Amino acid sequence: MREYTILITLESYCLLGSGEGWGSVIDTDIVFDRNGLPYFPARRLKGCLRESALEVLEMLEGTGLKKFDRHIIETTFGRPGDSEGAGVIFNNLLLPNHKEIVSWLRWGFQELNGLLFPETIIATFTSLRQRTSITKEGIAEDGSLRTCRVLKSGLTFTGGIIMKSENREIMNLIALSCANLRHVGTMRTRGYGRVKCSLKEGEVDLSSKVVDELEEEVG
């Protein structure tokens, strides 16, 4: 087994929806833990990178480069009903220094009783945005106003992925998939969810390294 690190930085507001609202105030809310800290769910990350990996394969095939076999998608991300599972294990991506932050928050929730709440923490990392549907006449449609809570631009999430076996081809695919990942979450067509993503091993940016190697090979 070999562990790598994925780093995602938000370059715009981002809605990693939880599928739930917040009382009668927020119609669409983000994913956060019991302390009010946002995170990037492992399953969502896996889905985004799988989609990005398919795009990478299509782009390479379109230029005549057959760097990967199509079966590598299933080898890397698994397939429904496969008892052996995926070749890569994905974990939730968390805020940097997550353990230290949680330790301080738990102290604060206990010692600053009545002054610090998870809701206070959520508000630190988020913003409320409203949208409405417009009729053909250019007028706001009655009852269409919706409020969503979104993550602020500039936030960074990081976490480890585990490759079950040494496989340079899978590592290269994940590195390129990270480099290719540009948008996550919902409302992407409205400018939300722009990200920069990279795969790292220690201090080495593998995404940049693999992209550079590919550019040298092409030309």
Instruction: Express each pLDDT in 123-158 by its tens digit.
Output: 999 999 876 655 455 555 555 567 888 999 999 999
Mean pLDDT on 17-23:
59
Q: 30: pLDDT confidence band, cut at 50, 70 and 90?
A: confident
Say if residues 14 and 185 touch (Cβ distance below 8 Å): yes
Is pLDDT above 70 for 219? no
160 versus 1: the higher-pLDDT residue is: 160
What is the model's pLDDT at position 143?
53
pLDDT digits (tens, 9 = 90+) for 73-117: 999 998 866 656 788 999 999 999 999 999 999 999 988 877 889
Lowest mean pLDDT among 40-44, 116-120, 151-155: 116-120
Q: Which helix (H) or strand (E) holds 5?
A: strand 2-10
Question: What is each CA distance from 109 to 106, 112, 114, 118, in whole angstroms?
Answer: 5, 6, 8, 8
Say if residues 37 and 117 touch (Cβ distance below 8 Å): no
Share of the chain above pLDDT 90, in %: 59
Mean pLDDT across the chain: 87
Amino acid identity of residue 173, one-letter, is L
Question: What is each CA distance from 83 to 69, 78, 79, 88, 209, in whole angstroms?
Answer: 21, 9, 9, 14, 33
What is the model's pLDDT at position 153?
97
